[in-house]
């Protein structure tokens, strides 16, 4: 979707005359981007007056780390917003207060109807309400759970940041998904696999004796968007992370995160019990950490090793979340080495964790024997629906290949009603231009979550599978591959910060629109007037489609170089695009690999017919002649060229639009984004020209043009 051209000049013109919630210019607090969306700058005078009247004092009877963090965060935020001192009250007597705490702590101070509302909340749900009780007007932020109080506090802060009027305030909120996790692909040497924001945040060489202030800041950012679980290390797991010396380091990080309502998890190497000399080749440069000659999940010695390791971990980290496991793909050892199933491997590890309340998360990213890799996850896991332990999640990538720019949703969603499935998204833009591009992923994820599986008729969306509502499941999980690093901007650029934010907001509520998330984030991040923020939002909302168009339009996938997953190299990826003189595209219909057969009949019928298949997925499902006439009235070749050219022109337009915002936002932020857009312009041309020139060798158009 392109952003509307006609709106841009209107917004820019209006910006000269209209001043909205804040004055343009450099933030008094932070203009470098290091504060992300928690930059607490002053509100407009009218909002300052309104909010200060209802936020003069904070009463918080709790003394736990989580509640003290909530209280102190609220105090800091309000003082930044209203530019006046906020008192931490030791007494609940008075009015104009924010009452912050658990239901048990504040119940006696609340009117009965508010108590009843709070009692009905689940898990970490919270309420915020301004009430007049016994003649006094106060605002309550209440949850049954301390973490819920923290989340409610950040919601309250978000209302102030986004210019929401203080009254009337009556909000209840509950997370749609129980486990809202970030998966870090960080290595023990400080590098990050597919990390584009710097090196790892975790300083393993300094831990456990020294702690970096960024640990706390990272946890604070996560808590502000409701993330409650963190996997510290790469799924291509170094077994050493399970050694006693590293577990002591992990325990320090777990302590930092615990104060913000976050549980710590580890990626575990399936071959960890083995003696180093017996570890398969992929692991020899690391070696196993055990003394066994096998990792066979049905071997009693292996089972005992994992039980003892789990006990060791829980002694150090009582709230340890559990293990994430990658097995039988990309050289990682798994149960197939021993002619065992993924069911047997996952259940063995789940049994080791179960006595401690731990969770086993087993990735469905596996390599099978199919010529079409898209088939593999379904074929490997669907037969075992209902047989996995209750503390097992099968973590499934949003698409059946590998975080491609645009793929149809994985058919496992809506096909395993008796198994806990976790949706795995990638915040790091491995196949979307790394840190170079603007590409706002909220649009991509909303598209995925809103996809209809038809598992129980129309309306059976992926979001309903993930939040448990489709099949009545109480245990739910979503995971995002993190994009953080130790650079000043945390994520490689200010717009990549938006993807971290969007992931957290969608993990809490998968039904939020990308549009409203973008609007929230802009108000919390940029100090600018309303017309400027609307221009920025228009750019964001068109950026994902622009990227897809200038790289892999019409459902093309895997045109990237194997080495970097960044540059175009379609000549090395022919098995995915199948381009020849007869046409282009992968035949996954009933006449080809029959991947369409993994979907429910309603979708199967659509995807099996090129005339019914949405153009965005056309070449994913069909191998079609170059001269095929499409619904756009263009031939397939003409449409391909059109989309490549349109993607480039969209990026050009974004860059020109951004130039007009100079002076309307902080200078350093403007310059930083401008430099990225200049890079993206070059990147887009490289992709378009390479792909059109390559495919024209097969299409042999009479007049093939690659644009300017």
- Count CA within 13 A, CB hemisphere, residue 182: 28
Structure tokens at 637: 């070749």
- Percent of the chain scoring above 70 in pLDDT: 93
Structure tokens at 87: 């008192």
The answer to whether the CB of 177 falls within 8 A of the CB of 476 is yes
Instruction: Verify cis geometry, omega within 30 degrees of 0, for the bond prior to 208.
Output: yes
Hey, which CATH number is domain 545-586+623-699, 3.20.20.10, 3.40.50.2300, 3.90.1330.10, 3.40.50.1100? 3.90.1330.10
- Percent of the chain scoring above 90 in pLDDT: 87
Q: What does R_g of the chain's alpha carbons equal in angstroms? A: 26
Confidence (pLDDT) at 165:
81
Which pLDDT band holds residue 208 (cuts at 50, 70, 90)?
A: very high
The answer to whether the CB of 267 falls within 8 A of the CB of 323 is yes
Confidence (pLDDT) at 285:
45
Q: Which CATH class is domain 33-173?
A: alpha beta
Segment 313-369, tens digit of pLDDT: 999 999 999 999 999 999 899 999 999 999 999 999 999 999 999 999 999 999 888
Which pLDDT band holds residue 222 (cuts at 50, 70, 90)?
A: very high
Burial class (CB in 10 A: 0-12, 13-18, 19+), 157: buried
| Rounded Cα distance, 357 and 676, in Å | 45
Confidence (pLDDT) at 284:
45
| Range of weakest confidence among 86-95, 592-601, 678-687 | 86-95
Segment 549-601, tens digit of pLDDT: 999 999 999 999 999 999 999 999 999 999 999 999 999 999 999 999 999 99
Segment 233-290, tens digit of pLDDT: 999 999 999 999 999 999 999 999 999 999 999 999 999 999 886 555 555 445 689 9
DSSP track, 185-252? -B-TTS-BTT--SSS-S--TTTTTT---HHHHHHHHHHHHTT--EEE-S-SS--GGGGSHHHHHHHHH
pLDDT at residue 648 is higher than 80: yes
Confidence (pLDDT) at 636:
98
pLDDT at residue 705 is higher than 60: no
Confidence (pLDDT) at 18:
29
The answer to whether the CB of 576 falls within 8 A of the CB of 623 is no
Write out the residue limits of the CATH 3.20.20.80 domain(s) in the chain.
Answer: 179-526
Q: Cα(first)–Cα(last) distance of the chain, in Å?
A: 22
Mean pLDDT for the stretch of residues 679-698: 98
Confidence (pLDDT) at 459:
98
Confidence (pLDDT) at 26:
32
| Rounded Cα distance, 405 and 429, in Å | 9
Which pLDDT band holds residue 96 (cuts at 50, 70, 90)?
A: confident
Query: How crowded is residue 284: how many other Cβ atoms within 10 Å of its Cβ?
Result: 12
Closest by CA to 402, choosing from 430, 381, 423, is 430
The answer to whether the CB of 33 falls within 8 A of the CB of 497 is yes
pLDDT at residue 396 is higher than 80: yes
Which pLDDT band holds residue 617 (cuts at 50, 70, 90)?
A: very high
Confidence (pLDDT) at 137:
87
Confidence (pLDDT) at 279:
58
Residue 478 CA: distances (Å) to CA of 7, 414, 445, 453: 36, 15, 12, 18
Q: How high is the mean pLDDT of the chain?
A: 92
Catalytic residues: 330, 402, 430
CA angle 266, 147, 144 (to 5 degrees): 130
DSSP secondary-structure letter at 97?
E
Mean pLDDT for the stretch of residues 540-546: 98
Architecture (CATH level 2) of domain 179-526: Alpha-Beta Barrel (3.20)
The 3-state DSSP class for residue 22 equals coil
Whether pTM exceeds 0.75? yes
| Range of weakest confidence among 3-7, 125-129, 351-355, 375-379 | 3-7
Write out the residue limits of the CATH 3.30.379.10 domain(s) in the chain.
Answer: 33-173
Confidence (pLDDT) at 672:
95
| Rounded Cα distance, 5 and 3, in Å | 6
Mean pLDDT for the stretch of residues 101-122: 96
Which pLDDT band holds residue 31 (cuts at 50, 70, 90)?
A: low
Instruction: Look up tokens 């007056």; give the residue.
Output: 49
């Amino acid at each position: 979707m392109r952003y509307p051209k006609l709106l841009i000049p209107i917004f820019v013109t209006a910006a000269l005359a209209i001043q909205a919630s804040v004055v343009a210019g450099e933030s008094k607090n932070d203009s470098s981007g290091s504060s992300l969306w928690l930059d607490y700058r002053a509100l407009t005078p009218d909002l300052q007056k309104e909010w200060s009247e209802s936020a003069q004092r904070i009463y918080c009877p709790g003394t736990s780390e989580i509640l003290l963090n909530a209280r102190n965060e609220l105090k800091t935020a309000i003082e930044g917003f209203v530019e006046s001192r906020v008192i931490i009250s030791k007494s609940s007597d008075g009015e104009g207060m924010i009452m912050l705490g658990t239901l048990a702590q504040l119940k006696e101070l609340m009117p009965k109807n508010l108590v009843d509302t709070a009692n009905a909340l689940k898990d970490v749900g919270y309420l915020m309400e301004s009430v007049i009780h016994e003649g006094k007007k106060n605002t309550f932020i209440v949850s049954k759970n301390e973490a819920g109080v923290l989340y409610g506090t950040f919601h309250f802060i978000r209302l102030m940041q986004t210019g929401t009027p203080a009254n009337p305030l009556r909000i209840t909120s509950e997370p749609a998904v129980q486990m809202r996790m970030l998966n870090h692909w960080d290595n023990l040497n400080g590098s990050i696999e597919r990390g584009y924001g710097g090196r790892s945040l975790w300083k393993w060489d300094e831990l456990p004796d020294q702690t970096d202030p960024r640990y706390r800041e990272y946890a604070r950012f996560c808590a502000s968007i409701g993330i409650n679980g963190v996997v510290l290390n790469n799924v291509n797991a170094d077994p050493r992370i399970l050694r006693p010396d590293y577990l002591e380091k992990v325990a320090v990080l777990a302590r930092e995160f615990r104060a913000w309502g976050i549980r710590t998890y580890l990626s575990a190497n399936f071959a960890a019990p083995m003696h180093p000399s017996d570890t398969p080749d992929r692991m020899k440069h690391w070696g196993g950490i055990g003394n066994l000659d096998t990792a066979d999940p049905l071997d009693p010695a292996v089972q005992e090793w994992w039980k003892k390791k789990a006990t060791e971990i829980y002694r150090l980290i009582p709230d340890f979340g559990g293990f994430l496991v990658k097995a039988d793909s990309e050289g990682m050892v798994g149960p197939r080495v021993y002619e065992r199933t993924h069911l047997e491997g996952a259940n063995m590890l789940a049994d080791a964790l179960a006595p401690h309340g731990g969770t086993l998360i087993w990735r469905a990213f596996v390599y099978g024997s199919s010529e079409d890799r898209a088939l593999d996850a379904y074929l490997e896991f669907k037969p075992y629906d209902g047989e996995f332990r209750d503390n097992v999640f099968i973590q499934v990538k949003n698409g059946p290949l590998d975080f491609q720019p645009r793929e149809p949703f994985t058919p496992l969603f809506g096909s395993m009603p008796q198994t806990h499935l976790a949706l795995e998204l990638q915040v790091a833009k491995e196949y979307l231009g790394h840190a170079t591009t603007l590409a706002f992923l909220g649009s991509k994820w909303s598209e995925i979550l809103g996809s209809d599986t038809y598992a129980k008729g129309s309306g059976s969306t992926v979001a309903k599978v993930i939040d448990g509502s489709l099949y009545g499941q109480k245990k739910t999980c979503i995971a995002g591959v993190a994009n953080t690093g130790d650079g000043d901007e945390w994520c490689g650029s200010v717009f990549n910060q938006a993807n971290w934010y969007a992931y957290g907001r969608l993990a809490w509520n998968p039904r939020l629109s990308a549009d409203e998330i973008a609007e929230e984030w802009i108000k919390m991040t940029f100090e600018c007037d309303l017309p400027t923020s609307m221009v920025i939002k228009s750019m964001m909302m068109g950026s994902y489609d622009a990227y897809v168009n200038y790289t892999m339009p019409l459902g093309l996938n895997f045109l990237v170089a194997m080495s970097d997953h960044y540059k175009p190299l379609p000549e090395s990826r022919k098995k995915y695009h199948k381009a020849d003189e007869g046409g282009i595209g992968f035949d996954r219909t009933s006449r080809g690999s029959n991947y369409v057969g993994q979907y429910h009949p309603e979708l199967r019928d659509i995807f099996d017919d090129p005339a019914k298949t949405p153009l965005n997925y056309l070449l994913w499902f069909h191998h079609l002649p170059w001269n095929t006439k499409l619904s756009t009235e263009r031939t397939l070749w003409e449409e391909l060229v059109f989309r490549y050219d349109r993607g480039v022109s969209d990026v050009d337009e974004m860059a020109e639009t951004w130039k007009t915002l100079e002076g309307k936002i902080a200078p350093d932020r403007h310059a930083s984004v401008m430099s990225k857009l200049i890079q993206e312009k070059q990147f887009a041309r490289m992709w378009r020209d390479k792909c059109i020139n390559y495919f024209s060798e097969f299409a042999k158009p009479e007049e093939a043009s690659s644009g300017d």
